[in-house]
């Protein structure tokens, strides 16, 4: 089973401007054959169907640890797409066709179906499919497939990087290039442990030069290309060190490291703002903001100041409210009443 924590793998901020055309391209990295949905689901289902996982624990632990990381990558790419779409639709009266620009975008599903949000599809609008999952029950074949998958994924990321200058997209791609390099090398190393074949010499590994990408260089500089995380605090997956150890002889020759838990740089993610033109989150958001504020008061999750009839986390009036900074300047009529609101 899985635990969830309210962090993004890396800090990510709202980009300086929206980029719906770039967002349509970046969809490939989420729902394409080599996208994050594919890496996640390949490893997820290989780990569920793994034969003799106790006898083969270092290899099982490798696939299991990378699975969990890939779930975080799905979250990262989705968040980047949502940030690229934020504010891409202008407010206006329906009669003036304020969505005309959105109709001209490559991916009209972002607006019509997603209400300004990502879709589980590739850059050509094909929905992600379980047919992209390869889980053969044969460990060597699966590892070889995974090595190939990571190799192709890095190539697609490199191409997508060159399709947009959007900061959110580039920050995520730069990071995922480095992490994909780790996964590519890890599967190559696992194959070497089993077969003795130097897979990293068959294809250059990493297959592309990350140092040409500034957003990747900063992660290399802190050694992210040598680190594997177990995403578990209890050391249940620490036998991954049987595979991921020794010198990174395909890179800088420094020692490979396994770390328990999640990366220390994981951070609070951005809050994506409302888009009234698309009825996101609803046609009258103030009302649900108010209901939510009252529920938070009830649950004691986000302490509200007693007697402050106007306080709401959406108005950003206390520094300790999590939404305070991101939500500042947003217009809302939400207030807290003493009496619970009656639903009509």
Nearer to Mn ion, 8 or 102 (CB): 8
Q: Which is nearer to Mn ion, 159 or 330 (CB)?
A: 159
Question: Tokens at residue 138, please?
Answer: 């044969």
The Cα-based distances of 204 to 91, 124, 147 in angstroms read 49, 29, 12
CB of 115 to Mn ion, least distance (A): 26
Q: Which of 9, 15, 32, 39 binds Mn ion (CB under 5 A)?
A: 39
Q: Which is nearer to Mn ion, 12 or 102 (CB)?
A: 12
- Shortest spacing between CB 47 and Mn ion, in angstroms: 14
Q: How far is the CB of 21 from Mn ion (least distance, A)?
A: 23
Nearest-approach distance from CB 42 to Mn ion, in angstroms: 9
Q: How far apart, in Å, are the Cα atoms of 261 and each of 5, 58, 94, 233?
A: 12, 17, 49, 5
CB-CB contact of 214 with 174 (8 Å)? yes
- With CB under 5 A as the contact rule, the residue among 118, 183, 311, 313 that binds Mn ion is 183
Residues near Mn ion (CB under 5 A), total: 6
Assess contact for 73 and 29: CB atoms under 8 A.
no
Using CB under 5 A, which residues numbered 54 to 93 contact Mn ion? Answer: 70, 73
Closer residue to Mn ion, CB minimum distance, 183 or 226: 183
Per-residue tokens: 45? 């289902």
- Contact indicator for 12, 76 with CB cutoff of 8 Å: yes
Q: Which is nearer to Mn ion, 65 or 294 (CB)?
A: 65
Which CB sits closer to Mn ion, 75 or 87? 75
Q: Cα separation of 104 and 250, whole Å?
A: 45
Q: How far is the CB of 23 from Mn ion (least distance, A)?
A: 18
Cβ-based nearer residue to Mn ion, 99 or 243: 243
User: 67 vs 327, which CB is nearer to Mn ion?
Assistant: 67
Closest separation in Å from C-beta 75 to Mn ion? 11
CB of 43 to Mn ion, least distance (A): 8
Question: Does 118 contact Mn ion by CB under 5 A?
Answer: no
Distance, C-alpha 65 to centroid of its chain:
16
Nearest approach in angstroms of CB 259 to Mn ion is 16
Q: Which residues bind Mn ion (CB under 5 A)?
A: 36, 39, 70, 73, 180, 183
């Amino acid at each position: 089973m899985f635990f969830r924590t309210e962090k993004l793998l890396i800090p990510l901020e709202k980009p300086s401007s929206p980029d719906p055309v770039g967002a349509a391209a970046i969809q490939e990295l989420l729902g394409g054959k080599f996208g994050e949905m594919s890496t996640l689901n390949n490893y997820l289902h290989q780990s569920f169907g793994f034969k003799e996982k106790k006898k083969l624990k270092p290899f099982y632990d490798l696939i299991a640890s990378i699975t969990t990381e890939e779930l975080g990558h799905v979250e990262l790419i989705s968040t980047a797409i949502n940030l690229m779409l934020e504010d891409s639709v202008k407010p206006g009266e329906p009669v003036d066709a304020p969505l005309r620009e959105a109709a001209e975008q490559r991916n009209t599903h972002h607006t019509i179906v997603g209400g300004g949000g990502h879709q589980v599809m590739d850059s050509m609008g094909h929905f992600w499919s379980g047919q992209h999952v390869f889980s053969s029950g044969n460990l060597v074949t699966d590892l070889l497939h995974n090595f190939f998958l990571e190799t192709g994924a890095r190539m697609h990321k490199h191409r997508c990087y060159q399709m947009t200058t959007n900061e959110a997209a580039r920050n995520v791609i730069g990071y995922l290039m480095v992490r994909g390099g780790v996964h590519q090398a890890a599967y190559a190393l696992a194959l070497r442990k089993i077969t003795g074949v130097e897979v990293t010499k068959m294809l250059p590994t990493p297959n592309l030069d990350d140092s040409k990408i500034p957003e990747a260089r900063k992660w290399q500089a802190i050694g992210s290309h040598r680190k594997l995380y177990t995403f578990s605090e209890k050391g249940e997956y620490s036998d991954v060190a049987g595979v991921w150890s020794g010198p990174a002889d395909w890179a800088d020759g420094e020692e490979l490291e396994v770390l328990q838990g999640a990366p220390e740089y994981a951070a609070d993610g951005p809050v994506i703002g409302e888009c009234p033109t698309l009825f996101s989150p609803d046609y009258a958001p103030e009302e649900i903001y108010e209901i939510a504020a009252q529920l938070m008061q009830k649950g004691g999750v986000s302490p509200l100041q007693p007697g402050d009839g106007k306080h709401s986390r959406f108005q950003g009036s206390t520094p300790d409210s999590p939404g305070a900074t991101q939500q500042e300047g947003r217009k809302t009529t939400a207030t807290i009443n003493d009496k619970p609101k009656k639903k009509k």
